[in-house]
Amino acid sequence: MGEDISTEAFEAEALAFLTANVPLKEEVRFEWGAGSDKVALLPERTPEEDRADLASARTWAQKVFDAGFGWVTGPTAYGGRGLDREYERCWHRLEARHETPSLSVFGIGLGMVAPTIRAHGTEAVKDRYLRAMHRGDIVGCQLFSEPGAGSDLAGLQTRALRDGDEWVVNGQKVWTSYAHLADIGEIICRSDPDLPKHKGLTGFIVDMHAPGVEVRPLRQMTGGASFNEVFFTDVRIPDSHRLGEVNGGWSVALTTLMNERAAIGGGGGGGALALTRLIELARHAGRADDPLVRQQLARLVVHTRVAGYNNLRAMAKVASGQAPGPELSLAKMSLTQNMGMTADLVSSILGAALVADSGAWGTYAWGELVLGLPGLRVAGGTDEVLRNIVGERVLGLPKEPAPR
């Protein structure tokens, strides 16, 4: 049970805290040629910037949590405040008006790993990690993808062999965001190679600082290294850190994947400011009256707004206490489609200026978005996998025939 506090009193308490600690946001107005022209899809930071951003995020997360706003709806037994979702929405609404440090480094841990721990973790794991994650004391990552499995998660080969009260893990994971900063990771391993591939998997929480864990950055064609590959050599995980039942890892993975698509798809992929930037780009390049460019712009505006409405519907379902559903696969597909249309549009407008740096503001910078798009198409499930989910679970179409 949570505390007895009215929404009015909670709002006053939250506003007093924010006012005392961070300034109000200034109204953002786009002006061509002013400020940064960076439009990258993926964060491209140096190790020094990563460490500075983490320190800033951790300090703010800890201050927010200690003031009672870090996990408004969480169970009091694990450090939450135990209040209804309307209080959480109130906090996010007020926080959005203030200039706060970015907490994106905690996004995967809180958006994907923590809900899975709540659903499938042992009491020992819940006690040890849920409060620490929501307070910003530790960073979490997701260890699913493998070089030989692609989007076929059930085809993974990282092995976990039981040794008494421990499991010994060997294998490799890939495309892991924030692995280089993470303290813990959610990993799915093959625990019984003799069972059908969906039934021989087990999930765990692994200490990313344990002996045998090696994290290597993966350099992208954007020039950055937003992802990592992670190698596990005789890494020992206590059985208390197992998620769910032995060989029941597929249901654990599905819990995480649905939350992942909620986190990725819920972003929407742009908004009024992004569309304004594209319209001004067309004007600056003298293409605003080009009927083909105008058609591309209009199509992008319509699809962005529709995606926004769909996301509101899907997130309202989550806010009401329902589990994220396959509708969020549609949200993620819409995001990649809209980013693809954006890439096509800027390519049409800029031509060679997209790939040849002339020094002109708002031109070559778009190259990072175009080069980052393939990574977005893979993150959270490829477009092809998500189309199957929408077709089968939303539209009720027959399942795709299994390979013989």
Q: Tens digits of per-residue pLDDT, 43-70? A: 778 889 999 999 999 999 999 999 999 9
Residue type, 150: G
CA 312, 257, 101, 174 dihedral sign is negative
Do the Cβ atoms of 213 and 177 come closer than 8 Å?
no
Cβ 203 vs Cβ 182: under 8 Å = no
Domain CATH code at residue 190: 2.40.110.10
Q: What is the percent of the chain with per-residue pLDDT over 90, rounded to a whole number?
A: 68
On whether residue 161 sits in a domain, the answer given is yes
Query: Known catalytic residue: 13?
Result: no
Chain CA centroid to CA 375, Å: 13
Residues 303 and 353 placed together within one structural domain of the fold: yes
pLDDT score, position 404: 60
- What is the CATH classification number for the domain harbouring 79? 1.10.540.10
Closest to 264 in 3D by CA, of 350, 182, 166, 380: 380
Provide the H-helix boundaries in 244-284.
Answer: 249-265, 272-284
Query: Phi and psi for 116 in degrees, rounded to 5?
Result: -70, -40
| The total number of structural domains that make up the chain | 3
List Cβ neighbours of 77 (8 Å cut-off, separation of 6 or more): none
- Is residue 230 domain-resident? yes
Instruction: Give the CATH number, domain containing residue 384.
Output: 1.20.140.10
pLDDT surpassing 60 at residue 266: no
* Residue 251 near residue 244, CB atoms below 8 Å: yes
| Residue of 88, 146, 260, 327 with catalytic role | 260
Domain span holding position 207 = 140-245
Whether residue 2 lies inside any domain: the answer is no
Identify whether 118 is part of a domain: yes
Domain end call among 75, 101, 135? 135
Q: Which of 118, 135, 152 is the last residue of a domain?
A: 135
Query: Does residue 194 sit in the same domain as residue 92?
Result: no
- Is residue 32 a part of any domain in this protein? no
User: What band does 308 get if pLDDT is binned at 50, 70 and 90?
Assistant: confident
321's tokens: 């206490």
Judge residue 289's burial from the number of C-beta atoms within 10 Å of its C-beta, 0-12 exposed, 13-18 middle, 19 or more buried.
exposed
Average pLDDT, the chain: 90
Count of Cβ atoms closer than 10 Å to residue 326 Cβ: 17
Reported as a single tens digit per residue, the pLDDT across 7-37 is 999 999 999 999 999 999 988 788 899 888 9
Residues 307-317, mean pLDDT to the nearest whole number: 79
**Domain membership flag for residue 19:** no
Residues 344 and 272 in one domain: yes
**Boundary-marking domain end, from 245, 276, 295:** 245
- Domain match, 277 and 379 both: yes
- Residue 45 is predicted with a pLDDT of 83
Asked if the structure places residue 44 within a domain, the reply is yes
Is there a single domain that holds both residue 102 and residue 184? no
* Reported confidence tier of residue 268, pLDDT bands at 50, 70, 90: very low
Tell me, what amino acid is at 365?
A
Are 270 and 219 members of one domain? Answer: no
Mean of the pLDDT values across residues 246-250?
96
